[in-house]
Amino acid sequence: MKHKIYDTIYKGKIGAKKAFAVLIDPDKLDDSTLLKTIEIAIQSNVDYFFVGGSLVVTDTLDKVVTTIKNKSSIPVILFPGSPDQITPKADALLYLSLISGRNPELLIGQHVISAPFVKQSGLEIIPVGYMLVDGGTPTTVSYISNTNPIPANKNDIASCTAMAGEMLGLKLIYMDAGSGAKQAITTSMIQQVAKYIHIPLIIGGGITTAEKAKENCLAGADIIVVGNAVEKDPALIKDIAAAIHSLNA
């Protein structure tokens, strides 16, 4: 089993080195915006590209990953909304189990069906406890996954869910308010979850400013994911990266 990317993420956590992942939804970026985003990401020392979406309706996944790999050395990690969003051209796959929900298909069912294909891909597989948190608006992911998010003020449910995920052997916890969330996850929930787990914590959903990204890192996030806001304004990548990396000095 490959574990290079995970080792880097884990070492980052141990060394309190905060990281920034730019989320690319292959459906949403035209060629020139993708190239511009890659260029700014390189200049800003972005740590990872996450690629995927809850509903990828075009067949551009392969092309987008190939373009990123050709133009940069930033690791590309698949963040798939469904088992068909997989390409061996990426570096790693977030193998998501939706532990905040009670939909057996997304806890284990789809994994069973796609297991041979996933294994054959040769990708580094990173088992992730994926937790949806209410971001104040129904998101594509909550609709598609047919699950209820964790209520935004229920920190205990979040920390117990994350602890259970860690004890089940998952290697990362990804708390997500959903793409385009009205309200990002609260810092108090991040603090509580970070306090109770030892594996790296990824936070995403509705983060639109450098200040918020930094605040989340100070609360205990190890990796911040931003999609929507940098899709609208790729120049924001520079500010968010600088804010997150300023904590590593």
Summarize as ranges the residues that interact with ligand 1GP (CB under 6 A). 23, 176, 179-181, 204-207, 225-229
Is 128 or 181 the residue whose CB approaches ligand 1GP more closely? 181
Instruction: Write down the least CB distance from residue 21 to ligand 1GP, Å.
Output: 9
Is 127 or 135 the residue whose CB approaches ligand 1GP more closely? 135
Instruction: Write down the least CB distance from residue 179 to ligand 1GP, Å.
Output: 4
Instruction: Write down the least CB distance from residue 202 to ligand 1GP, Å.
Output: 8
Q: Using CB atoms within 10 A of its CB, is residue 69 exposed (0-12), middle (13-18) or buried (19+)?
A: middle
- What is the helix (H) or strand (E) element at residue 191, kind and residue range? helix 187-196
Residue 164 Cα distances to 45, 110, 148, angstroms: 34, 21, 18
Task: Look at residues 132, 57, 55, 136 and name the one whose alpha carbon lies nearest to residue 96.
Answer: 132
Cβ atoms of 55 and 144 closer than 8 Å: yes
Cα dihedral angle (31, 35, 40, 41), rounded to 10 degrees?
Answer: 90
Instruction: Write down the least CB distance from residue 197 to ligand 1GP, Å.
Output: 18
Residue 14, φ and ψ in degrees, nearest 5: -60, -40
Angle between helices 210-219 and 187-196 (to 10 degrees): 30
Instruction: Write down the least CB distance from residue 120 to ligand 1GP, Å.
Output: 26
Is 75 or 80 the residue whose CB approaches ligand 1GP more closely? 80
Q: Which residue is nearest to ligand 1GP (CB)?
A: 204
Is 119 or 135 the residue whose CB approaches ligand 1GP more closely? 135
Is 3 or 82 the residue whose CB approaches ligand 1GP more closely? 82
Instruction: Write down the least CB distance from residue 54 to ligand 1GP, Å.
Output: 7
Q: Match 């057996």 to its residue by tokens.
A: 104
Report the distance separating Cα 145 and Cα 54, nearest Å.
9
Is 127 or 206 the residue whose CB approaches ligand 1GP more closely? 206
